[in-house]
Amino acid sequence: MSMLPNSQEARDVAYQLHPYTNARTHQQAGPLVIERGEGPYVFDASGKRYFEAMAGLWSVGLGFNERRLVEAAHKQMLALPFYHTFSAKSHGPSIDLAEKLVALAPVPMSKVFFTNSGSEANDTVLKLIAYRSNALGQPQRKKVISRMRAYHGVTIASASLTGLPNNHRSFDLPLPNILHTGSPHFYKDGAPGETEEAFATRRAEELDALIQKEGPDTIAAFFGEPVMGAGGVIVPPATYWDKIQAVLNKYDILLVADEVICGFGRTGKMFGCETYGIKPDVLVVSKQITSSYFPFSAIIMNDRMFEPIADESNKIGVLGHGFTAGGHPVGSAVALENLKIIEERGLVAHAAELGAYMQGRLRELTSHPLVGEVRGVGMIAAIELVLDKGRKTAAATPGAVGGIASRMLQERGVISRNMLDAIAICPPLIVTKAQIDDLVAAISGVLNDMKAEVAKLTPA
C-alpha cells in the first residue's frame, strides 16, 4: 500500500498498535480504514464496498446501521449517560436486562453479573470459581480445565484458558492451575477408521483420565464453547457434549458455557447450549448481545454458583470485584433493544433457515482440490484449505494458504478472517439468500484464482 503523508493510513501506522496484527508488516502495508456501514456491508475510505463475512468480529448480528440501536443509546444518554452498580446501587436498564437474560437462559438461572467484554467475563468467572471453592471449604479445588484450540479471551487468565499457542507464546502463559484437554475437532484429531461417536467417547475418556490424574477434588470447573469459534469453527461431533457432561457430573465439576460467539441466534437457536443439549452452571455472553454497538458482556449463573459466593461475600463483608462500566446504562439499553429486535424479526429462526442454506451452498465447494473440509452449523462456518486432501495438510508455513485466500477475498470485496488455513464465515444474522449466493461465488472465484499462487508454496 502506498501511503500519502498525513493520510489516515500513515497516521494509523505512526500512532497505533493493532491487536492480532504483525506490527512490523503493518508498518509497511498499513490498515484498511473503514468509514461507514450499511446492513451487512462496510465501506472503506475510498468508497469501496465490502461484504462483512465475519460480522465484524463474530458479533454484529443486526448489521452496521441499525437505527433503533443508535436511538436506544441516544435516548439513554439523555436520561442517564452513566451510573454504576457498585455498593448496592442500580438503575433501570441493568435491572431490566438482568431479568431478561435470566428469562432467556436455556436452563434455570439465578443471577447476572455484568462486565465489558468476553475476556473480562471469563476472567471474572475464574475469580468467582476460586471464591466459591473457598466459600465451600475446598481451598484445594482451584484447577480449571479448558481445551486445545479453545478461545476464551486475551486477559491474563482468560488467555490461559485459550488453547491457541500464539496466545501463550512470549506472554509467559498459561497460568498455573489451568489445564487443557483434547480438541473436539474430528477432521484433524480423529483416528483412521474412527467414527464420530467413538472419537467423542475417546475425548470423554481422556477428560476422565486427566481428572483422575490431577485428583477430582482439585478440579473446580470445565470451560467450553458450544461451537469453538476463533480456534477454527470446530463443531462438536455427535454425542460429544452428552459424554463430556456425564464425566463432569460424575465428579461434581462446574460447567461454564462460553456463548460469546454462539449466543443470540448464531447456531440457529437462541443459545448454542440449546443446539447441543448443554446444561451449564455459568453462561457467558457478549458480542452479539449489543450487536457490538456498545462494549458489553454478562455472566449468567445458577444458584449452585451464586449461593456460596453470596455466603462468602457475607462472611467477608463485600464481594471485592467489579468494573466501572459493568452494566453500563447505555450498553444495557442497547442490549435490550437489540434482543427486542432479534425477537420481533424472528432472526433466530431466520438464522436457522438461512444458516441451513448457507451450509448447503458452502458444502458445494468440498470438491475443490484446495478444500479439505467445510464445517459449521447455523450461520457460522469454516472452510479448511489444504494442499494435500489425503494427508489433510496445507503448506509448511501454517496459515500461508489461508492468508492468501483472506487477502484475495478482501480484494474481491469480502472481509473474512483466516484462522491459520481455515477461512471463517460468520455473516450478520440479517443476511439474505442473494447475499449468501454472492459470497459463495466470491469464495469459489478466489479458490480458482489462488491455485497458481499456492503452487509456489512448500507443502507441509
- Span 105-120, pLDDT tens digits: 999 999 999 999 999 9
Give Cβ neighbours of residue 215 (< 8 Å, ≥ 6 apart): 140
pTM for this predicted structure: 0.97
CATH superfamily, with its number, for domain 32-65+346-454: Aspartate Aminotransferase, domain 1 (3.90.1150.10)
**In the predicted model, is pLDDT for residue 41 greater than 60?**
yes
CATH number given to 69-344: 3.40.640.10
**In the predicted model, is pLDDT for residue 70 greater than 70?**
yes
Q: What sections of 329-416 are H helices per DSSP?
A: 329-344, 347-363, 400-411
The reported pLDDT for the residue numbered 4 is: 86
- The Cα 118–Cα 132 span in angstroms is 21
- The Cα 373–Cα 386 span in angstroms is 9
End-to-end alpha-carbon separation of the chain, Å?
30
The reported pLDDT for the residue numbered 239 is: 98
| Three cell numbers, residue 323 | 468494573
Q: What does the pLDDT look like over 366-395, one tens digit per residue?
A: 999 999 999 999 999 999 999 999 999 999
Q: pLDDT band for position 1 (50/70/90)?
A: low
Cell 476472567, residue located: 123
- Please report, for the chain, the start and end positions of each structural domain, with discontinuous segments joined by +: 32-65+346-454, 69-344
